Amino acid sequence: MILGRKPSIRKQVLVFVHGYQASSFDMEPLSNYLKHKYSNVIPLLSSVNEGRTEQDIEESAHRLAIEIKNFLNSIEIKEYEVSFVCHSMGGIIARASLKYLQSHKSKFNHMVTICSPHLGYLYHSSALISTSLWILNKVRKDPSMLQLTMSDHL
């Protein structure tokens, strides 16, 4: 059983995708909990974008898709579903990766994103966030942050 559903004979491949400047270790406690609680969980702690989340979102999405395809091809189980558990920028990267995973579309089940800015950071009411993002974009000029703040084509 996963996320309140009735028990399934299918294995649940859970793809854990970390956020901006994070690592797969940040998602490990949640992965371990779900693996312990539900016997049908097969976790994939994505690590392909560690140290690279500041790069272009599309490039990160493509790397993630390749990692997922390689993982799915390596498991020896035929009956499985794929769900995503993502934090922050990881939700944006995972969503962008879906177009590269069309061949596995019939296996998709759930996507859970935690604190993912699906609408970007264009509209927010916090002066602290506005100032922080402005400084970050002026100092670092990370392509992913420019994309999230919709400043990449200015």
pLDDT digits (tens, 9 = 90+) for 56-99: 889 999 999 999 999 999 998 888 999 999 998 899 999 999 99
Q: Do residues 86 and 94 lie in contact, with contact meaning Cβ atoms separated by under 8 Å?
A: yes
Q: Which CATH architecture has domain 11-118?
A: 3-Layer(aba) Sandwich (3.40)
pLDDT digits (tens, 9 = 90+) for 118-152: 776 666 667 776 677 667 666 767 777 667 766 66
Residue spans per domain, the chain: 11-118, 121-154
